[in-house]
Amino acid sequence: MSSQPIGIFDSGIGGLTIAHAIKQKLPNENIIYFGDTKHLPYGEKSNEAIKHYSLKIAKFLKENNCKIIVIACNSASSVAYEFIKSNVSSIPIYNVIDPIIKNLSNKKYINKKIGVIGTKATIKSNIYQKKIEAKITSQIVSLETPLLAPMIEEGFFNQDISMTIIKKYLENKNLNKIDSLILACTHYPLIKKQIKKFYDNNVEVIDSSIITANYIKKQLEKKGMLNINKKPTYSFIVSNLTKSFSKSATFFFKEKIILNENDIWKEI
């Protein structure tokens, strides 16, 4: 048993979808969440920049006694996961991509057409195609959807304007006649209903929040690291605090939360 907190980070507040799923699946666990709102979106940054920011945050979470770190960001997971693992020792590091890949090992995905939408960094890394094709024989098609994350961060979802942008992307010929669609960004669960509506519920929409939470629970069980604390604590930190993020955070986490600012890059 371990009462140490689970550390979770994202380039912004999109990873709160993962944090909420983990809270639901593991209600006794303490959580420290860090959203790097000062540098979002990671999907538009260079690989070196993403690695630099991600490593700094991972070290911060380790210094705050986290027992594991969950990279709740597809861009950071695709670009910086191995880099973080090699530079932050003695603490398990998990990403949001491998749980999806493990889930796709199911026979029902063999010889199917699977679409992937995400940030430029995630799609350019080609990581989903590589990992899926290493597991099963399927046709993988990808599409960069760079406007979606900032649109959602600013609270523009479940509106006509968001549906117009979503429709424009999903009508792309690359995604024609897909059987499943992977939401390769932790922001996207907030527009999952609109995406399912576009497809008239005829396409399976896969988001990483619940899948990742189930995976993390299994890993903690295997390692004997579950917490039995009945009064867990939650800390939500962002590197740059604005009113819009405070408001949107409630939608991401599905509960009212208080964000605290800590610019870990600021010179002291």
How many angstroms separate the CA atoms of 67 and 5, rounded? 6
- Residue 5 and residue 65 in contact, taking contact as beta carbons nearer than 8 Å: yes
Q: How far apart are CA 131 and CA 82, in angstroms?
A: 14
Task: Measure the CA–CA gap between 70 and 35, rounded to whole angstroms.
Answer: 12
**Residue 7, Ramachandran bin (φ over 0: left; ψ between -120 and 50: alpha; else beta):** beta
Task: Kindly name the residue from 22, 26, 32, 73 that is annotated as catalytic.
Answer: 73
* Catalytic, out of 21, 58, 185, 237: 185
Q: Are 112 and 180 in contact (CB under 8 A)?
A: yes
* Beta-sheet pairing, 139-144 with 113-118: parallel
To the query of whether residue 66 is one of the catalytic residues in this protein, the response is no
Active site residue 185: yes
CA angle 207, 210, 212 (to 5 degrees): 90
Query: Which residues are catalytic, by number?
Result: 73, 185
